[in-house]
Amino acid sequence: MTHQPTDTPQFYLTAPAPCPYLDDRFERKVFTHLVGDRAASLNDILTQGGFRRSQNIAYRPACEGCRACISVRSVVDAFVETRSMSRVMRKNRDIIGSNKAAAPSSEQYSLFRRYLDSRHAEGGMADMSVLDYAMMVGESYVATELVEYRFRGPDSAFTGRGEGPLIAAALTDVLADGLSMVYSFYDPDYADRGLGTYMIVDHLNRARKMGLPYVYLGYWVEDSPKMDYKRRFRPQEHLMARGWVRVD
């Protein structure tokens, strides 16, 4: 009998399910578990190969006859804000983001719940409970942090932290070659501030200060309007059949 080493990742294939991005299509995913001492290095390798992380699972699309989902990462050193992005950053200069350990809180879940109910009431995460949220944030064997965004206070210049209620948050993996934005959400009452754009540009600035070359934005689907915003953060690289390809 042949024995498989216990630290060798095992990959599995999901059953077909309705595609969340394209009508009349079905998706399948290949996935593996991220556990143990090698979880961080495995997450690095798999992310570079087009996988995404959810809790202790790394997955990527494996759909029959469809390659619409394309992994996208922005090139940090070459990124230049567009005029509209610069307007968003100026509009939100009264906000500051601070890093903290990836630990769930009731304040986070309250904001997360309001965001889902307002923006993604029909999405696959719409029925997530407080326990589901706690597992999404806190159950990780890789280097993960939560960036919390609040309004600047009188002491923010010294503390590096904002004050008052939570306005937005981003769950982020710190990889060897970049930051991977796992999930971000914000207060729907401030939708006119462009907080989604603000958080991505802020992560590009954070990665630059950390000397990291990329910010991983997940999957882009050309024919899906909800994914179109990701193309704005250029230059970027798309993972194609022969590897990462620069898109200016």
Could you tell me the pLDDT band of residue 153, with boundaries at 50, 70 and 90? very high
Residue 6 reports pLDDT greater than 50: no
pLDDT, position 3? 43
| Gap between the Cα atoms of 157 and 217, Å rounded | 29
pLDDT, position 4? 43
What is the average pLDDT across 131-137? 94
- Residues with Cβ < 8 Å from 53, sequence gap 6 or more? 34, 43, 47, 140, 142, 173, 180, 182
Residue 159 reports pLDDT greater than 70: yes
Distance of CA 136 to CAs 170, 198, 228, 235, Å?
12, 23, 25, 30
Q: Which residue, among 57, 52, 189, 48, has the nearest Cα to 115 in the 3D structure?
A: 189
Query: At 49, is the secondary structure helix, strand, or coil?
Result: coil
Max avg pLDDT among 18-22, 56-60, 225-229: 56-60
Distance of CA 199 to CAs 59, 195, 206, Å?
24, 6, 10
pLDDT, position 1? 41
Distance of CA 174 to CAs 35, 45, 101, 170, 237, Å?
16, 13, 12, 12, 18
Stretch among 22-26, 50-54, 86-90, 175-179 having the lowest mean pLDDT: 22-26
Query: At 182, is the secondary structure helix, strand, or coil?
Result: strand
Strands 52-54 and 69-75: unpaired
Q: Residues of CATH 3.40.630 domain(s) within the chain? A: 82-210
Q: Helices marked H in the chain — which ranges? A: 39-48, 83-91, 106-119, 130-138, 156-159, 195-210
pLDDT, position 122? 67
| Main-chain dihedrals φ then ψ at residue 104, nearest 5 degrees | -75, 155
146 versus 122: which is more confidently predicted?
146
Q: What beta strand segments (E) does 48-102 contain? A: 52-54, 57-61, 69-75, 95-101
Strands 214-221 and 178-186: parallel
| Gap between the Cα atoms of 201 and 214, Å rounded | 12
The pair of structure tokens assigned to 222 is 């050309």
What is the average pLDDT across 148-153? 97
CA dihedral 48, 180, 85, 198 (to 10 degrees): 170
Max avg pLDDT among 4-18, 120-134, 150-164: 150-164
Could you tell me the pLDDT band of residue 121, with boundaries at 50, 70 and 90? low
123 versus 120: which is more confidently predicted?
120
76 versus 23: which is more confidently predicted?
76
Percentage of the chain beyond pLDDT 90 is 81
Task: Write the pLDDT tens digit of every residue in 34-84.
Answer: 999 899 999 999 999 999 999 999 999 999 889 999 999 999 999 999 999
State the chain's mean pLDDT as an integer: 92
Residue 2 reports pLDDT greater than 70: no
| Gap between the Cα atoms of 184 and 168, Å rounded | 8
pLDDT, position 211? 98
Task: Please state which CATH number belongs to domain 82-210.
Answer: 3.40.630
How far does Cα 22 stand from its chain's mean position? 20
What is the average pLDDT across 241-247? 95
Dihedral sign, Cα of residue 127, residue 185, residue 150, residue 203: positive
pLDDT, position 20? 85
pLDDT, position 225? 84
pLDDT, position 224? 84
| Gap between the Cα atoms of 101 and 229, Å rounded | 28
